[in-house]
């Protein structure tokens, strides 16, 4: 699978990708604003306890590997992409739920930690958005092939196999984004 093919898949799905980005990052913003009105202010702003140091023992490479495997295997693949294979709206619903959770969590974070974690939020958030796009495309391909592959009249099987190839091409970017995000997150946790 060439890099140019992966880029062509993303460019073909650019409108849906932009819409999904708007939903996710807009959902985070809305959740923070709603939390500001609905939740009481935090009682104190203490340094966060570093759960990762207790698990990974302060080893940077083990921490990067652990964060990457968790984010890719459990968060992106199992919770965001695979539900969309079964029923395509589930990928977007899970992505919106994740945006809501991140927004509520970011409400309690002091400004200096928020600014430090902003690159991680962008990288990992974009990885989850791409994972949701991949899951939605595969789910739609076997339910309504003409919605995805409107330029050709494909059978459900042909549409599914084509969408699975597109899903793999999108997952190249998911892996890269989540790996870079894991490195940035581990570096951020070292600074806190």
Residue 176: pLDDT band (50, 70, 90) is: very high
Q: State how many domains the chain has.
A: 1
Confidence of residue 6 (pLDDT cuts 50, 70, 90): confident
| Any domain includes 8 | yes
Give domain status of residue 31, yes or no: yes
Q: Which pLDDT score is estimated for 70? A: 94
Residue 30 burial (10 A CB sphere; 0-12, 13-18, 19+): middle
As given in the structure block, the two tokens for residue 84 are: 């969309």
> Is residue 7 a part of any domain in this protein?
yes
The answer to whether residue 26 sits within a structural domain is yes
Percent over 90 (pLDDT), the chain: 54
Examine the pLDDT at 157 and tell me if it is beyond 90.
no
Q: If residue 109 lies in a helix (H) or strand (E), which one and from where to where?
A: none
- Residue 175 above 80 pLDDT? yes
pLDDT single digits (tens) 40-87: 776 655 555 556 665 666 788 988 999 999 999 999 999 999 999 999
C-alpha distances in Å from residue 94, one per residue of 11, 77, 133: 24, 12, 12
Q: Is residue 52 included in any domain, yes or no?
A: no
Residue 18 lies in a domain: yes
Give the mean model confidence (pLDDT) for residues 97-108: 92
Q: Encode 84-121: b = buried (16+ Cβ within 10 Å), e = exposed.
A: bbeebebbbebbbebbbebbbebbebeeebeebbeebb
Domain containing residue 74: 3-37+69-191
Could you give the CA distance from residue 30 to residue 90 in angstroms, rounded to a whole number?
A: 20
114-144 per-position pLDDT tens digit: 899 999 999 999 999 999 999 999 999 888 8
């Amino acid at each position: 699978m060439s890099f140019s093919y992966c880029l062509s898949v993303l460019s073909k799905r650019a409108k849906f990708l932009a819409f999904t980005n708007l939903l996710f990052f807009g959902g985070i913003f809305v959740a923070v604003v709603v939390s500001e009105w609905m939740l009481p202010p935090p009682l104190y702003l203490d340094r966060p306890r570093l759960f990762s140091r207790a698990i990974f023992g302060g080893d940077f490479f083990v921490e990067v590997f652990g964060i990457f495997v968790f984010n890719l295997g459990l968060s992106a693949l199992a919770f965001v992409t695979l539900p969309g294979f079964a029923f395509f709206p589930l990928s977007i619903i899970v992505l919106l739920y994740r945006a809501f959770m991140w927004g509520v969590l970011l409400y309690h974070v002091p400004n200096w930690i928020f600014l430090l974690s902003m690159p991680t939020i962008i990288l990992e958030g974009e990885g989850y958005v791409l994972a949701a796009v991949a899951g939605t495309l595969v789910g739609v391909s076997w339910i309504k092939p003409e919605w995805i592959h409107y330029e050709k009249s494909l059978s459900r099987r042909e549409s599914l196999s084509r969408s699975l190839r597109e899903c793999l091409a999108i997952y190249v970017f998911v892996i890269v984004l989540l790996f870079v995000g894991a490195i940035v997150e581990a570096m951020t946790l070292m600074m806190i």
